[in-house]
Amino acid sequence: MTRRILFTCSMLILFAVSAAAQKTKPWTEWSAKDAEKILNDSAWGQTQTEGETSSQPSSTSAITQTTAGRREDTSTSAAAKVESGEKKDSMAVHYRVRFLSAKPIRAAFVRMIELQGASAEQVTQWRTFVDRDFGDYIVVTITLDGNDKKRMGAATAEINGAGPDVIKTTTYLERKDGKRVALMEYRAPSDVLGAKFVFPRMIDGKPFIDTNSGDVRFFTEVGKTIKISKRFKVSEMTYDGKLEF
């Protein structure tokens, strides 16, 4: 019995050490899987999927476009798989919602560019972006990827042609206590970072988000096609000892 207890304790200690090592691993050592996790399924980046959900394409296509100057036609790729006898991918669109003003998101983005084979000069330029100070603003971005050509076309048209004045009435951040902050500025997609939604970081002289906020919900409704609602747990948004949002 004593040996079993000692063995169990040892395993728990090893697990704790391993977990701590993962949390403290610098972003420059993240794998592609690590970076994608931060971008798409983390305290700072989440995914909302519309359509069938049994297959989720990678979100790296936009980043690949940056480094290689091209994008694969997913509909053609899917058709080729069917002709070759492979299982057809589910038809879906994935909305990637990310706190760009949070350092882990910027770090994951730059790390993906580096892993995709960007030149040393490109990587050096992008690395300055990781440490950028967003000052008094919270910036949330949305990008799209998927293989449902019809949905993608409609959603892309909506988000590219959205009127800032209209979006301001349908977009907000909301804390667990119900308090909301309205959108300050909307910027249609002009680069691979996607559409940008800018909010004030301070309200009445105090941070809108702090350690007592519980969770924060991002909500937006763009035209007739896009309606996104994602919650983020503030208790999990600490990175390198600092609350990042």
pLDDT at 7 over 70: no
What's the predicted TM-score (pTM) here?
0.78
pLDDT at 16 over 70: no
Average pLDDT over residues 56-77: 42
pLDDT of residue 15: 40
The position carrying tokens 């299982």 is 87
Q: pLDDT category, 6, cuts 50, 70, 90?
A: very low
Answer yes or no: is 131 within a domain.
Answer: yes
C-alpha dist (Å) from residue 198 to 153, 168, 188: 25, 10, 11
Number of domains present in the structure of the chain: 1
Phi, psi of 79 (to 5 degrees): -65, -40
pLDDT at 29 over 60: yes
Answer yes or no: is 207 within a domain.
Answer: yes
Q: d(Cα 24, Cα 30) in Å, to the nearest integer?
A: 11
pLDDT at 47 over 70: yes
pLDDT of residue 193: 94
Tell me the angle at which helices 32-40 and 103-115 cross, rounded to the nearest 10 degrees: 140
Answer yes or no: is 74 within a domain.
Answer: no
Answer yes or no: is 189 within a domain.
Answer: yes
Answer yes or no: is 31 within a domain.
Answer: yes
Amino acid at 20: A
pLDDT of residue 89: 61
Amino acid at 84: S
Tens of pLDDT, residues 158-193: 999 988 888 999 999 999 999 999 999 999 999 999
Least confident among 53-62, 120-129, 130-139: 53-62
Exposure on the CB side of residue 167, measured as CA atoms within 13 A: 25
pLDDT at 130 over 50: yes
Answer yes or no: is 45 within a domain.
Answer: yes
Q: pLDDT category, 57, cuts 50, 70, 90?
A: very low
Which residues, including other chains, have CB under 8 Å from residue 7's CB and lie 6 or more apart?
none
Average pLDDT over residues 41-58: 78
Instruction: Give the chain's largest Cα–Cα span.
Output: 69
Sign of CA dihedral 211, 213, 214, 220: negative
Helix, strand, coil shares of the chain, percent, nearest 5, are 40, 25, 35
pLDDT of residue 53: 56
Sign of CA dihedral 41, 39, 200, 127: positive
Answer yes or no: is 73 within a domain.
Answer: no
pLDDT of residue 51: 85
Tens of pLDDT, residues 185-237: 999 999 999 999 999 999 999 999 999 999 999 999 998 889 999 999 999 99
Answer yes or no: is 72 within a domain.
Answer: no
* Containing structural domain, residue 137: 26-67+90-243
